[in-house]
Amino acid sequence: MIVIVDYGVGNLGSIVNMLKKVGVKSAASSDPDVIMHADKLILPGIGAFDSGMEKLNERGLVPLLNQLVLTDKVPVLGLCLGLQLMTKRSEEGQLAGLGWFDAETVRYKFGPEQGNLKVPHMGWNTIEIRRPHPLLSELEPESRFYFVHSFYVRCNNPQAVLAETDYGGYFHSVVGEGNIMGAQFHPEKSHKYGMRLLKNYAEKVK
């Protein structure tokens, strides 16, 4: 079963419902006993970096997640803030991130040459696949995803960049390194395209 780590950020109902719609059983839980037995994990999230890390720490989930992800190599998919928390640090906060892969979370900085684009990057946008990956299989070229974020993930290992999105320049919108994966957008708010990605995660990622 896929366990969506419920650490008190946002409504996880749409992720559970979307997985259900593609025939995948999942549960949102903060219970270590449930999380421990997950076949795969989803780390969701909205809101600020430090507040997300504090909530994970308050629930005492960090050592367990480290064990599952780093030692037992259980697949994990970070979504939006969940992805950002998996990096080493963020320009949004003071606290250390989970540091599961070699990346930082940085803020958009736009000047006049990018037409003073608005932050947050909010709305439907497309992705350009850089590296084939089971997570991104069978996604049509016109696939669009819903983004809401002011910070983005910058991977130091180019091999980890699975897809990029153009917003005043390309940023890393889907990343993956071994059992650790993440997407900057909200698949659960991205109709059939998000459904495809979640289905791929459930069925094609080993």
Partner 1 sequence: MIKPRVIPCLLLQDQGLVKTVKFKAPKYLGDPINIVRIFNDKEVDELVFLDIKATNENRSPNFDLLRNIGSECFMPLGYGGGIRSMDDVRKLLGIGIEKIILNTSAVENPTLIRSAADYAGSSSVVISIDVKKNIVGKYEVHTRSGRKGTGLDPVRQAVEVEKMGAGEILINSIDRDGMMEGYDLELIRHVSEAVDIPVVACGGAGNIGHLRDAIKLGGASAAAAGSMFVFQGPLRGVLISYPSPQDLKSLLEA
Span interacting with partner 1, options 75-83, 96-104, 107-115, 116-124, rule CB under 8 A: 116-124
Q: Is residue 170 involved in binding partner 1 (CB under 8 A)?
A: no
Of 150, 108, 107, 145, nearest in space to 126 by CA: 145
- Binding residue for partner 1 (CB under 8 A) from 65, 83, 194, 200? 194
Residues 50-89, interacting with partner 1 (CB under 8 A): none
Active site residue 177: no
If one counts every other C-beta atom within 10 angstroms of the C-beta of residue 29, the result is 16
The residue (of 13 and 169) whose beta carbon lies closer to partner 1 is 13
Strands (E), the chain: 2-5, 26-29, 40-43, 76-79, 103-107, 121-126, 128-129, 144-149, 151-155, 161-166, 170-177, 180-183
If one counts every other C-beta atom within 10 angstroms of the C-beta of residue 67, the result is 12
Active site residue 188: yes
Tokens at 52, concatenated = 């997300």
Question: Which amino acid is located at 64 in the chain?
Answer: L
The residue (of 124 and 170) whose beta carbon lies closer to partner 1 is 124
Q: Closest separation between CB of residue 177 and partner 1, Å?
A: 28
Note the residues at the interface with partner 1 (CB under 8 A): 9-11, 13-14, 16-18, 46, 118-120, 122-124, 146, 148, 150, 188-192, 194-195
Catalytic residues: 80, 186, 188
